[in-house]
Amino acid sequence: MEEVRAAEFSSYSTRSLDETLDAIAAHYYDVRLDVAGPMEDFVTSMNIVDLGSLTVGDVTFGTRVRMAFGEPGYYHIGVPLTGGFAVRQGREEAFQGSTRRAVFFDPERYIRVEEWTEDCHTLTVKIDKLALHRQLEALLGRPLTRAPRFEPYMDVSQGPGLSWANLARWSLLEKDVSHGLLRQPLIRGRLEQTLLDGVLLAADHSYREELAAPAPPMRPVSVKRVMDVVEERPAEPYDATRLARIAQVSVRSLQEAFRKHVGMPPMMYVNEVRLDRVRAQLRASAPGTTTVADVAHQWGFVHLGRFARRYRERFGETPSQTLRAAAPEGIRRDPPRFADSRCASRSDRSAERPYLQGTAIVDVRR
């Protein structure tokens, strides 16, 4: 079981472009940053709180900038507190984020921030993709059949969107509170879960209507029997007849009960549980110690082509990518380059510094 930690706070203030890139990369992503306004006005101010599966921060640059980064592999929400910015995701048309309308970044697309205004002060929240999917499964009470699709905007002018943004901002205010509540691991963990639940209830996405629907009735005993057995022994050679015998009902009755109370047929549920076990084992295996085929067969998958297609639909990557990846979420590409001589990225520099240098930048961890 993962140890629950207290929140960790960091603060940065610098006029150095290199130090800005290092600070952003330390908590978010490698980016390219183009200072489009007067260079003498450029000054970066960032406050960050690490909440486990979420990183909450606020940032200003003091002048107009543009930035770009490859597929982040994380969900990301930008909430302008003042000013605004224009965003282009992949090949879509640019759209504007404002104080009333936050931008929800797609984890699998190139991101270009094409016009960050000089007065822009933005709340920026990075969310672990797998953690959000698991929280959605917990709210639905069943495995996801496919990854959620989020709309590019979230209304933060009223209702649940405003409440969520205010709660995220509160976490940053705690950095100046001596012995504050977020120094307690229990409170940090509960805030993390509340923010995950909150974004699922505030943002528009493909499961939103299901979440808003009345809670389904308790599952019948027949369904629970099958689910318990499958969870305990998912690699067993199940078919509809065997599952019906376990449930002590007819095949037709079990099919109808699963569709009504689980949202999928019983054999699909078996495969979803198996997929979870395959992914967990691939993520825990060192490259070279096993193969995708061996793990898939171990958990009861016979048709590897069907297995690979369903795995990619479910998790957004191939099984071999999961096995190879040191960090399981997302596929990184080199960010696009700007022609302007006043832009830079961490990869432009010949050597990486093991820590942020200079007196202009301060890392506060309490």
Q: What are phi and psi of 76, to 5 degrees?
A: -150, 135
pLDDT at position 337: 38
Cβ within 8 Å of residue 347, ≥6 positions away:
30, 334
pLDDT at position 87: 93
pLDDT at position 358: 32
Mean pLDDT of the chain: 85
Report pLDDT digits (tens) over 49-89: 999 999 999 999 999 999 998 888 899 999 999 999 999 99
How many residues does the structure list for the chain? Answer: 366
pLDDT at position 349: 41
| 341 has a pLDDT exceeding 80 | no
| 144 has a pLDDT exceeding 50 | yes
Report pLDDT digits (tens) over 256-314: 889 888 889 999 999 999 999 999 999 888 878 889 999 999 998 888 889 999 999 99
2-11, 25-34, 161-170, 327-336: least confidently modelled range: 327-336
| 346 has a pLDDT exceeding 60 | no
Report the C-alpha gap between 167 and 327 in whole angstroms. 28
